[in-house]
Every structure is written in C-alpha cells, then in structure tokens.
Structure 1
Amino acid sequence: MSKGTTTLPPRTGSRQPAKPKKQKPRKKRSVLKVFFVLLFAILLIVAAGLAYLVFKADEAVDHISSPVDNEVDIPAGETVDKKSVAMLLMGIDARSHGGGLNTDVMMVAVFNPNSKSATIVTIPRDSNIDVDGYRARKANSFYADFYMNALNEKKLKKEAAYADAKQEVRNVMSKLFGIDIKYSAVINFQGFADVVDAMGGVEVDVDMRMKYKDSADGTNIDLEKGLQVLTGEKALDFVRYRKSNNGKNMSSDFERNERQSKVIGALTDKLKSFGGVTKIPSLIEAVGNNLTMDMPSKEIKNMMSTYIGISRADITFIPLEGTWRSPYVYLDDAKLDEARAALQSKLAE
C-alpha cells in the first residue's frame, strides 16, 4: 500500500440494503481486503490436489457457479485458460449481527493465462463513483441499490435480482476502468474464518495487545501480543483490528495491511506444505460454502487448472488513493489513470 493512502475513520452502526437514492447509516466494520483476496487465491491454489478429490471438487464448483446460463458456449480461444479475463470481486458481511449487501470489499482483477499472473485494483468502499449513465454514489452501495431496484422496480425474483445487480455493478466498473469486466465473484466474511479453521489455524506474531468490544455488532477482539496460532475467528480479529476501547494501541492502515500480508503469507506457505495438501478437502468445502461466481463451472475449473500455485509474487496489487471529505473518498485522478492503464495492459498481454 502506498504511503499516500488516506486513512479512513472508523465506521459506526450497521446497515441493511436500501433503495436507490436513500441515505444509509455508516457501518462500523473495517475494510477486509485480505479476506477477499485470500479466499479467491485459495480457490485457485487448491487445484493442486484436485486429482484426489474429483467428486468433492466438482460438487463445490457447482455450488460456487451461479450464472444465469451455466451452459453458455464460449468460443475456442476465448476461455479463461486461453485469454486474459477481467473480474469484479466483492466482499459482503453476512453475519447475523449486521451486514447486508453493502460491499465492504471491492476489487477489479485481471488474470493473464500466458504469464499466469494477475493485477488487482482495490477500491475504497467510500469512494465517490461517478460514471455516465448512473447516479453518483459510494462504491459500496451500488450492489445493494441495484439489487433493491431489481426487486422493486424491475419486479425480478430474488436470484434474478442478484444476477441483475452483479451485471449492473460490472457495467459501472467497466466504465470506470475502460475495460470489459466479464465475471463477478461475491464472498462473505465468514469464509475467512472457515478457511483458517480448515487449515488448522494460522501462526502469526501479534504485534500489539488487541482488546476491543462492541455489543452493537458482536465484535469482541481479545488478543495478547506475541507469536501464537490463531483460530479462524481470532485471525479475523487480528486482520481487522483498528483500536481499543480505551483509545490506546491504535492501528493505522499501514499496520493493518502488514498484518493482512502476514496472514496471507502464512496460509499460502502452509497450503503448499504436505500438511496443507491433506487439508484440501475441508478447504474446498470452506470456499464452496462462502463464494459464488457468475462464471460457468467449466470456466471456474479452467481458472483453477491455469493458476495452480499462484503466489503473492505473481499478483500486483494497486490500491486506489484519494482524499477523505466526509462522507466520501474522492479518488486521485492520476492514481485512477495509473490503475486503468495497469488493468488495460494486463488484459492486452
């Protein structure tokens, strides 16, 4: 993350999906980019053990894939194992204590099968997004707004409304970055904890005493400083910690990003070990229960077989930057242009 990235203030309260143009209260939930990247990376990496888990994997992939037409024919040379593809990645908080359809994590990723690499642009949730043909609003509200509009105005049924909302958000982001975003993936935050638990926990060095409780959304972070093995819920607390109740041990965006990298690295290393390979069945189940994609199942399998072993070194992360002027982050034009160019370049490789 660049040093110029603006630190956003904590959120308070919880939100539910709202109709378009309706002001929504801000929610106190940290932006968990790592969880979203981690689950998507795990989905790709677990392919290393699929030879031993054909039935289990097929079952999970069929659950993950939820396109409008799952049997769509893709021309030869256009499949994801032959041609670069752009995807929209969204993370939602589906906990019982809060959450909804507001996307706390938003990323646009381009995967290139020739170099077996990816470029991922992360979008601040409070970014003011203004493109032709759509009302300007916060980045994280598009999915919820489009879903409610599909239900109430277009009179679509639930599953069709979800599909319509994903398509509309893809249209917005395609215009923003000047590329054709073909697919989208939606992951809920519980998946992060499930993946860590499926791996038997993750060993990390907790950099400070972390203690924070909020009965409003069920948050109860209580971690001691030092090297330790964290369960899924504890790992989730570790990567999203912002501050303590007494105002001490504050956590900056830079420190959170460093902790997120620690967890990704530790899990990736563990997965590539023999012990990690033996946990692939439970990993497949964890990912399958928490990830949906509007990509045909055959293409998901192509993604998995193409990007076996993708590592942090193969992925370029580009965080969009901007200026915080409540209630929005106004994106820096130069940084946005850099992100556009990077995605377009990767797509053209």
Structure 2
Amino acid sequence: SFAWLKIIKFLSRTRVNRISGIKVDNNFPKTNINATWSPNNKNQLYLTANYGSMIPGASQKSPNMLQQDELMWYKGTPELKDSKYTNALFSYTWLPNNRWQITADAYLGYIKDRVVTLYSATGPNGTMLRQYFNGGDYFSNYIGINATGKFFGGRLVAKLRPQFWFRKTTGSYAWSSNQLTCTAQLTYYLGNLYFMGWYMTPSRYQETNSGIIRRTPSRYQLQIGWGKGAWNLSATAYNFFHTSWDSYEESLTSKCYSFELMTFGSQHHAHYAVSITYTIGYGKKIKRNNEISGSGTAGSAILK
C-alpha cells in the first residue's frame, strides 16, 4: 500500500502600486491540502482542497469615474472586500482489471462575497454607471464518473464522462441551475489505422464574477488517422452538422440594464482538416491543425 499526504500553509503578502491614492496592501492566509491513499494496486483515494483570498485590484477600488461610451460610465469602489474562496475535490479510482478504469469524483467550489458589477442610472446626464460591489456568494458543485473500457483485445477504447452540476448564486444576481453534462469518446484501432469520434453536450452557467449567463453549444468530431514510422496522416470533421457561425451566447438581466450578446466565429462552425506530418529523428514534430480562426461579436443592450 501507498499513502501520501501534503499540507502547505503560508502567509502571502500582496502589494500593488497606488492608483488615484488607492493602494492594495493585504495579508491573507492561503492553504493547500493534497492527499492520496492507495491500499492496493486496484483502489485509490485522492483529495485536494484549497482556501484563500481573491484581492480586488487597485483599479476596482479607484474612486475615479471614467467614460466607456456615450451611454456608459464606470468607476471602482474603495470599500470593496476581499473574496474568500474554498474548493475541494474528492475522487475514488477503481481498477478491477485491464479492461476497466472507473473514477467517481465530487467537487465543491465556494466563493464568499464575490465581486460583481452593478448598473444604475446615476451617471452624468442620466447615463448608466457600472460599479464594482461585493454581490453575494457563488456555489459550483458537481458529482461525476469517468469510465474507460477496452474491448476486442484493446482495439476498441470507450470513454464516458457524465457530470451532474449544482450551481447557485446569491445576492445581486441570485440564480440556480442543475444540469447534466456528458462527454463520450470512442476510438477503434485497426493495424496502423485508427477511427475516433467524440461528443460533448451543451453547457449553461453563470460567470464567476458577474451576473452574465453563458450558453455554449454541443460539439462533436470524427477523425480517421494512419501512422507508420515517421509518417502520420489524419482527416478530421468537426461539428459537420453545425452550419451556424454562432460560438456562444451571453445574457445579463438587472433592474436598470440588460443585454443579449451573440458571439460569432469559426470555433464551433463545421470545418474539416487534413494533416500530414513527417518526423525527422533529430528534429521536432510540428502539428498544424488549427489554422482556421477569427471571431466577431454582435450584441444589443436594453436600458430599462
């Protein structure tokens, strides 16, 4: 059996130069714990936990008011408090035989007094003012399973990763959502050939330091490859049924200000790639399979 435990505790001091007479000069404890226990070669327990502070930047505390555009001003808040964070991950891995590897895990994420932006119609000449405040707590937790199975003598490898999320925020942007996400992957090896496909479900969550709700679409990919000696060839089809150019959606709803934002780009649009590489023994293998890029945004805002 094998057991390992590591605990780190230290005091960190952060100093930021003055901005408009506001200086960040904080002392705060930060703790990290990692522990692994393997009673035998088929079972393993793992724990990691962290505690610390997220310190607002000097610009977030600056009392100066600056203009963003013709309808929006923004300023900092000198009274901002530090946000305390706690997270922990516990997992259990079981290796019953050479065919299966199963890991069950649970994650707890908690931020106390998170910093968010609030909007009010108190800017010059009735315009909007965006300001930082401590706007409640943020909870992000999940339970999940990561299973890998090998079949037909290891030629077929299947991976499944379901996660059930429990998310909740309190305060200015109170929100809650329970969601099941899943990633599945199949790979089949046939001599020097391999066939691989994966699928990832859509996701929806509130961002950590704002009331913005972000939605991402599903993603999937098929790939066929061949390798022998120094040669490697592959052909990839990504999101081949996704003809839209939208990448993700964002929305914010508050008393005085709301918006809907759609981001467009090639990240999730259907695209295809062919890769041919040759590795020289004394050189470095170069991978070129991400040449399609570029994005743009189009959004609208509603003043209430």
TM-score, with structure 2 as normaliser: 0.20
Query: In proportion to residue count, which structure has more helix?
Result: 1
Q: Which has the higher strand share?
A: 2
Bigger-Rg structure (1/2): 2
